[in-house]
C-alpha cells in the first residue's frame, strides 16, 4: 500500500515529509483490527507482499 502520488505531491509541496512505510503499517493494522480479531476470535493471515509482511513483523517486534 502506498499513498496516491498526488497526495504525496501535495504534502511535498507543503514541505511535509511523508513516511510511506508508517502509512502502510497503519492501514494494515486498521484492516486487521476490523477482522474477527476485535471480537477475540482467531484469524489466519496470509500476507503475500514481502514489504507488508516485513512491516508487520517489524511492528510486532517493536511493541515488545
Provide the residue ranges of all domains of the chain, joining segments of one domain with +: 5-62
Strand residue runs (E) in 1-64? none
Q: What is the DSSP-derived secondary structure letter of residue 49?
A: -
Tell how many helices (H) and how many strands (E) occur in the chain. 3, 0
Q: Given this model, what pLDDT does residue 63 score?
A: 75
Give 56's DSSP letter.
H
Give me the residues of the chain with pLDDT under 50, please: none
16 DSSP 8-state letter: -
Whole-number pLDDT of residue 25 = 96
Q: How far is CA 20 from CA 3, 7, 8, 24, in A?
A: 7, 11, 9, 6
Amino acid at each position: 500500500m502506498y499513498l496516491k502520488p498526488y497526495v504525496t505531491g501535495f504534502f511535498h509541496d507543503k514541505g511535509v515529509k511523508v513516511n510511506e512505510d508508517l502509512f502502510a503499517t497503519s492501514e494494515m493494522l486498521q484492516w486487521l483490527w476490523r477482522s474477527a480479531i476485535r471480537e477475540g476470535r482467531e484469524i489466519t493471515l496470509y500476507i503475500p507482499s514481502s514489504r507488508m509482511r516485513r512491516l508487520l513483523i517489524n511492528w510486532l517486534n517493536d511493541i515488545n
